[in-house]
Amino acid sequence: MLALTATELWPGEGWNFVFGQASLDQRVGVWSLARFGNPNEEWPVVLRRTLQIAIHETGHMLGIEHCTAFECGMNGVNSLGESDRAPLPFCSDCDLKLWWACGMDPLPRAEKLLSFVEKNKLPRETEEFRSRLKLLQSE
């Protein structure tokens, strides 16, 4: 179960906020849109921020911990600047974990992801998923 809220998330003493939080073993998570901006004024930015946190927290819900080896959707972020710089896609190691956890075929997934980012005008991700799709098609 994944919940979405427009309310700030505060996990407790020692924290000022979190964008989201998820359990590695209970398959539950939550993320907040509170700090992502005004969707009426900056829709592509708000969409990308929402996707970045949703993808990251869903990764946790599937048992994937923070990635520290590569630039990856599973990198931890502590500010909007870090979130905006973080990639949406997982690195190859975390992608393999995702494919295994969900029993998914990477080629159809890459095709759907490319279609989604093209449709939603996310240029950085369009370039990345187009490159990944070409690699998968060549194998």
8 as an active site residue: the answer is: no
39 and 22 in contact (C-beta within 8 Å)?
Answer: no
Q: Tell me the residue length of the chain.
A: 139
Residue 82, number of CB atoms within 10 A of its CB: 13
Task: Determine which one of 57, 71, 111, 128 is catalytic.
Answer: 57
CA distance 33 to 31: 7
What values do phi and psi take at 20, rounded to 5? Answer: -165, 170
Type of residue found at 29: G
Catalytic site positions:
57
